[in-house]
Amino acid sequence: MRIALFILFALMASVVNAATQIEGLRIWPAPDHTRLVLDTAGTVDHNVFSLSGPARLVIDMKNTSLKTDFSQVDLSGSPIQRIRSAPRNGTDLRVVLDLKSDIKPRSFVLEPNQQYGHRLVVDLIDEAGSRLERAASPTVTKDSAGKRDIIVVVDAGHGGEDPGAIGPRGTREKDVVLKMAKTLAALIDKQPGFTAKLTRTGDYYIGLRNRTILARKYNADLFVSVHADAFRTPQPNGASVFALSQRGATSETARWLAQSENRSDLIGGAGGLSLEGRDEMLAGVLLDLSMTASINASLGVGSSVLGKLGGVANLHKPGVEQAAFAVLKSPDIPSILVEAGFISNPKEEKNLASEWYRDRLASAMMDGIHDYFRRTPPPGTLLAWQKENNRDDGRVSQYRIQRGDTLSGVARENQTTVSELMRFNGMNDDRVMVGQTIRIPSS
């Protein structure tokens, strides 16, 4: 009996002392930080601290052993010069990063997802300040009478350690949407009076809040987040456009009022309204007004983009949907989230993986954005100046009739009249059919 108990205790002790192994290491360099990801066999109890003279970062991991070769890791584009490791206290592991300059570390563990197992994540943040989040001066198009461009911030969802949804053939959402975002940004930059800014230009992750902060630093007139939808079954299909819901707006107003650092921020993009020094009631009213105006504008541009997408792809829903997406929660910038299709649908996965289809989607988004701002240009912009001086480019847009549309509703949305639409399209009456495409005259 004693022998059996001894064996049992020995086995229990071996389980307790069994080391978690470091099975791999990946590095994701980004413009303002570098993400170091350690793939582990289980959750790691760890401690991270910095040393100066020379700059180093120390990662101590309890009850952990090494089962990979750090010398094979590509360190190019990162602030890391060398990675060293050594056992410590018999069962622990110490990893030392020799750095090119001082950094600010941040670490956390991640549970397994559909692509990766347990991970220890260490972010190396540039202490000199985020290059991505520096404010940008308004961009002026040449020969535009000094009028500023409309700034559109294009956000490719996910990235780096976050692959997003993965299709049946292994197509990753983060790759598809980055390519589409770059194409859309290029189209925006080609359009006179517009300038595009990308939240990410490579395969790295940016926090959801930081994406909206970045849009505000760029004084954005519009924030467009590009994604690909997914479902647990392969049947759902079609593109969607989302704006922030009122419920999301309410929670965001409360967050802004609760955080003192938000009070000195400008409300209205490049405008001049600040919450600093305002009492609670006035600050709340100002935020509610700003958020309501932002949501209304988001619904307007979202409807314009959705109408154009309907000429290229099936639509999952006929109208702009609303949800409390964190990435849309800017109180002063019209923001939309475009789900370009269901990557979980085999046919749409194949389409999204093809350049020609992504280009058509990006062109449709650009057309929708241009048409919206041509109708309602922000003050001080080239498009506003052109409209005020009757120098519109004369471009004729098209709209595909959706379920529930009426000609009077389309006329109201496009700031024209039913009689003008009937005359322009050679119509004898005001009846329209779902799927019918009508031409919209320049306003």
pLDDT in tens, 273-314: 454 555 556 555 555 666 777 888 899 999 999 999 999 999
CB 174 within 8 A of CB 159: yes
Q: Using the Cα atoms of residue 228, residue 230, residue 235 and residue 241 in order, give the sign of their dihedral.
A: negative
Cα separation, 204 vs 50, in Å, equals 23
Cα separation, 370 vs 397, in Å, equals 10
Per-residue confidence in pLDDT tens, the chain, 443 aa: 555 444 444 444 434 444 799 999 999 888 878 899 999 999 999 999 999 889 999 999 999 999 999 988 889 888 999 999 999 988 999 999 999 988 889 898 888 877 788 999 999 987 655 544 444 555 555 445 568 899 999 999 999 888 888 999 999 999 999 999 999 999 999 888 899 999 999 999 888 888 888 888 888 999 999 999 888 899 999 999 998 887 765 555 555 544 543 444 444 333 444 545 555 565 555 556 667 778 888 999 999 999 999 999 999 988 998 888 877 777 788 999 999 999 999 999 999 999 999 999 999 999 999 999 988 999 888 888 877 776 555 555 677 788 788 888 888 777 778 877 877 777 777 888 877 777 777 65
Cα separation, 260 vs 307, in Å, equals 40
What pLDDT digit, counting tens, does each position of 194-215 carry?
999 999 999 998 888 888 888 8
Enumerate residues 6+ apart whose C-beta is below 8 A from 293: none
Residues in the chain: 443
Enumerate residues 6+ apart whose C-beta is below 8 A from 58: 48, 49, 50, 51, 94, 95, 96, 97
Task: Name the burial class of residue 388, with classes exposed (0-12), middle (13-18) and buried (19+) by CB atoms within 10 angstroms of its CB.
Answer: exposed
Gyration radius of the chain over CA positions: 26
Q: Show the tokens assigned to 181.
A: 């975002």
- What are the DSSP calls for 155-166, one per residue? EE--BTTB---B
Helix (H) or strand (E) holding 23: strand 20-29
Query: Tokens 């009249």 map to which residue?
Result: 417
Query: Tokens 């090119």 map to which residue?
Result: 100
Enumerate residues 6+ apart whose C-beta is below 8 A from 364: 305, 308, 309, 311, 312, 313
* Per-residue model confidence (pLDDT) at position 22: 94
pTM score, whole prediction: 0.71
- Cα pseudo-dihedral 381, 394, 309, 402, rounded to 10: 110
Q: How far is CA 361 from CA 112, 182, 330, 346, in A?
A: 33, 12, 25, 18
Is residue 248 classed as helix, strand or coil in its secondary structure?
helix
Whether the ω angle into residue 54 lies within 30 degrees of 0, i.e. cis, is yes
Catalogue all structural domains in the chain, each as residue range(s) with its CATH number. 17-126 (2.60.40.3500), 150-387 (3.40.630.40), 396-440 (3.10.350.10)
* Per-residue model confidence (pLDDT) at position 116: 84
